Amino acid sequence: MAENNKNKSAELEEIEKIYREKQKENQSEKKEKTIKVSASGGDAPCGRREDGKKKKGKPSVKNPQPDKDSPEQKLIQKINIGVCGSIFAILVVCLLVLPRPTISESEKRPLAKFPQFSWGDYWSGKFTEDISNFFNDTVPMRDDLKQFGASFRSLFGFSLDGVTIVGDVNKVESGASQTEVTTQSTKPIVIVTPPPATSDESAPAPESSDSTDNSSSGETSAPAPEETKPVGSFMTPTDPNAEVLYREGNQIVYNSLGTLYAGVLYNGNRDYSREYAAAMNSLAAQLPHMNIYSMTALTQNTFFTPVELNEVTYSEQADATFLKNQLDKSIKVIDTLNVLAPHAGESIFFLRDCHWQQLGAYYAAEELARLAEVPFAPLDSYRKEEEDCLGSVYLNTQYDGLMYEGEIFTYYVPQNDYYVDYYDADMEFQFDYPLMPESDYRASSFYSLFMVADSYIKHIRTDVDNDRILVVLKDDYPSAMIPCLTSSFEEIYVIDVRYCNFNVINFCIEKGATDVFVGMTTESALSDVGAYLPYIMSI
């Protein structure tokens, strides 16, 4: 019986063996039909017909044997391996050995640091991710390589519009062209210089005549507007023939009245206004013995961009007024419409960058000094410098029509004595460095001339002796104002609200601040940037 079973089992094994061999044969047949690995063009070669059969004459061997390669093919392979392998090895060595940058001038930010190990970070994947970020972010010569990459991208095609524009308005200087815009306009920009104000408190509320202004009439909860000096009537430019040449998100390049402009369309969101206003009012309430200033700055959107291009419900100007009306009366407001409108014919904005020229910032700083009742250095006491620059819109969009449209960046270096220390977001000392490091100037990152990078907290000690200590809470826009305030305050702390890891209320008290200035663009105030303000007040 046992032997019988044994025989049966042996028989079964034999059958199984035959079955597996059959399967194996089938499998190898199947493999024969698989697509041959290609080496030349990426995809498989078209060696397989639609019906699955192979073309005649094509070898069906899946793994090509070296012996079958001709000497010619072997030579080609050796060259390929030798050249590619050597270049790969050189690049590996370069990337591992060459010094890595710590600051990006083009992006105005410190670059990633090698992360510190912790088990928590490791298990969350943050540690390894940060290592990759560090490696990718701090590539040697990164800014040059980025520039090269951008130039390469510009070869992808050509711009029909760029061809017609270049030549007409090549190298238009900022400011000067604003006059040109006014004179060439079919519907000229009307800028009526306000009559001299008698006093801050006696003037009536500003009236916006912005054609798209839906204003705050429907917003009943807003407090009564603060009284400021009259601005006269200001009309946002209009140009029905304005032509959008390129757009990427809100970054826009357009041709208006024969001038090429580039900027960022205003996109503030009123939903953020209560949060921002509440934070400002809370700041004033918690620091009752300090002077609190607010500036929600207007940009080119108000002064340059034709209303026809704007897509928002409320204009920048209307939103700034709406926001201002919600602030406590104890907060002193720097109204940039009032401040800048009288200087609209001067070079106060760039034509193809989203920032203001330092001259515009100077007038805003002058207004701050006036409200603070501190001294302020006249413009002729500064050393004036001019440099070529390339607007941020070009860097972001790579729109080739802008490549040859340089601008002049005019900046003013204060001549008094001051010292600047740079700290990180935790207020750990990093280094001392000039306030305006001119030796590091680059056309592609010109705005970083003002205090290197937003992510650093700066402590400026000046030669002014008036016991006035200013804390500035800002986005990047007011950076150009800071050098103009070195003649006004004894000490200045500059904090970008996006890069602060401590409670600013405690900080102001601890540092004995006498004045707190909160400044950013209206769009920043009405966006998640503004929402940082309540956060850093409650950390």
Site residues for other proteins, 100-139, by CB under 8 A, read: 104, 122-123, 125, 128-129, 131-132, 135-137, 139
State residue 460 phi and psi, 5-degree precision. -110, 125
CA gap 306, 304 in Å, rounded: 6
Give the nearer residue to other proteins in terms of CB position, either 40 or 202. 40
211, 437, 169, 176: which is closest to 317 by C-alpha?
Answer: 211
Q: Give the Cα separation of 303 and 350 in Å (integer).
A: 11
- Under the binding rule (CB under 8 A), the answer on residue 74 touching other proteins is yes
**The tokens of 495 are what?**
């904090």
Taking the mean position of all CA atoms in its chain, how far away is CA 364?
A: 22
Contacting range for other proteins; rule: CB under 8 A; set: 29-37, 275-283, 290-298, 430-438: 29-37
Residue 8 has a CB neighbour count (10 Å cut-off) of: 10
Instruction: Decide if residue 34 touches other proteins (CB under 8 A).
Output: yes
523 touches other proteins by CB under 8 A:
no
Closest by CA to 211, choosing from 338, 345, 65, 318, is: 318
Q: Residue for token digits 């430019």?
A: 237
Tell me the number of residues near other proteins by CB under 8 A: 83
The residue from 10, 18, 160, 285 that contacts other proteins (CB under 8 A) is 160
Pairing of strands 291-297, 515-521: parallel
Residues 464-503 close enough to bind other proteins by CB under 8 A: none
Closest distance of CB 104 from other proteins, Å? 8
| Contact window for other proteins (CB under 8 A) among 88-96, 210-218, 264-272, 273-281 | 88-96
Contact 284, 292 (CB under 8 A): yes
CB 364 within 8 A of CB 295: yes
Binding mask 1-20 for other proteins (x = CB under 8 A): ---------------x--xx
The one segment of 44-52, 320-328, 358-366, 455-463 that binds other proteins by CB under 8 A: 44-52
Please report how close the Cβ of residue 8 comes to other proteins at its closest, in angstroms: 13
Instruction: Give me the phi and psi of 412, to 5 degrees please.
Output: -125, 125
Q: Which helix (H) or strand (E) holds 494?
A: strand 491-496
Reference 354, options 402, 289, 287, 290; nearest CA is: 402
Please state the closest distance from residue 33 (CB atom) to other proteins, in A.
11
Q: Of the candidates 8, 9, 14, 26, which one interacts with other proteins according to CB under 8 A?
A: 26
Q: Which CB, 22 or 329, lies closer to other proteins? A: 22
Q: How far is the CB of 110 from other proteins (least distance, A)?
A: 14
146 contributes a contact to other proteins by CB under 8 A: yes
Which backbone phi and psi does 167 adopt, to 5 degrees?
110, -45
315, 321 Cβ separation under 8 angstroms: no
In the bound state with other proteins, the residue whose beta carbon lies nearer, of 159 and 310, is 159
Minimum CB separation of residue 58 from other proteins in Å reads 11
Smallest gap from Cβ 261 to other proteins, in A, equals 16
CB of 519 to other proteins, least distance (A): 27
Q: Between residues 27 and 183, which has the closer beta carbon with respect to other proteins?
A: 27
Distances (CA, A) of 321 to 135, 229, 307, 324: 46, 13, 18, 5
Among 11, 14, 32, 69, binds other proteins (CB under 8 A): 69
Residue 46 within binding range of other proteins, rule CB under 8 A: yes
Q: Which of 411, 400, 407 is nearest to 443 (CA)?
A: 407
Q: Is 379 in the site for other proteins (CB under 8 A)?
A: no
Q: How far apart are CA 524 and CA 294, in angstroms?
A: 13
Q: Identify the residue among 10, 18, 81, 379 touching other proteins (CB under 8 A).
A: 81
Q: Which of 4, 65, 199, 217 binds other proteins (CB under 8 A)?
A: 65
Rounded to whole angstroms, the Cα distance separating 532 from 498 reads 6
Min separation Cβ 437 and other proteins, Å: 22
Pairing of strands 418-423, 429-432: antiparallel
Which residue in 8, 62, 113, 187 binds other proteins (CB under 8 A)? 62
- Within 166-251, residue ranges assigned H as helices are 176-184
Could you say which of 9, 10, 18, 84 contacts other proteins (CB under 8 A)? Answer: 84
Q: Which residue has the tokens 């815009």?
A: 181
Minimum distance from residue 57 beta carbon to other proteins (Å): 11
Inter-residue contact 470 to 493 (CB < 8 Å): yes
Binds other proteins by CB under 8 A, chosen from 149, 204, 223, 345: 149
Residue closer to other proteins by CB (options 90, 197) is 90
| CA 14 centroid distance within chain | 74
Question: For other proteins, which is the closer residue by CB, 65 or 220?
Answer: 65
Residues 224-253 interacting with other proteins (rule: CB under 8 A) = 243-249
Going by the DSSP 8-state scheme, the letter that residue 50 receives in this structure is T
* Separation in Å, CA 296 to CA 98, 352, 469: 43, 21, 22
Closest to other proteins by CB, 136 or 416: 136
| Nearer Cβ to other proteins (88/431) | 88
